[in-house]
């Protein structure tokens, strides 16, 4: 499974961005996909996940502002980010897992497949 993110950029606080992740490989039967972020000097943290049945989960700091979605016809995962704050700044990564027993939650950072990341910078 190969993952390629795009759509990052710089925006002022209160603005919006949408990042995308195109998935390719021998199969796109991802059981769970997620978005993670890492700020400079901090550990990688989970932002949102989407289960194969459509269930979504978010970390508390982005609830009501971010929306994770996927377009299976385009093999693409999205993260719509609204009302952005400076603390949302970081490298955003998408990740995937095909193991069906994997607990799909943004608290998990041990996904086996990762993209290279796309930078999001929010200025005050």
Tens digits of residue pLDDT in 8-40: 999 999 999 999 999 987 555 778 999 999 999
Listed range (35-39, 91-95, 105-109) with the worst mean pLDDT: 105-109
- Average pLDDT of every residue of the chain: 94
Under a CB-based contact definition with an 8 Å cutoff, are residues 48 and 106 in contact? yes
What single string gives the DSSP state of each residue in 49-114?
Answer: EEETTS-EEE-GGGTTTEEEEEEGGGTEEEEEE-S--GGG-EEEEEEEE--TTS---TT----SEE
Q: Give the separation between CA 95 and CA 8, rounded to whole angstroms.
A: 16
Quick one: what percent of the chain has pLDDT higher than 70?
98
* Residues in a beta bridge with 43: none
């Amino acid at each position: 499974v190969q993952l390629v993110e795009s759509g990052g950029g710089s925006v002022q606080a209160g603005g919006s961005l949408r990042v995308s992740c195109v998935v390719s490989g021998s199969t796109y039967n991802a059981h769970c996909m997620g978005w993670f972020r890492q700020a400079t000097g901090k550990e990688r943290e989970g932002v949102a996940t989407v289960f194969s049945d459509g269930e979504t989960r978010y970390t508390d700091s982005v609830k009501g502002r971010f929306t994770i979605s996927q377009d299976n016809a385009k093999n693409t995962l999205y993260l719509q980010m609204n009302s952005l704050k400076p603390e949302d700044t970081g490298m955003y990564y998408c990740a995937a897992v095909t193991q069906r027993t994997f607990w799909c939650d943004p608290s998990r950072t041990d996904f086996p497949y990762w993209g290279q990341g796309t930078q999001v910078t929010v200025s005050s």
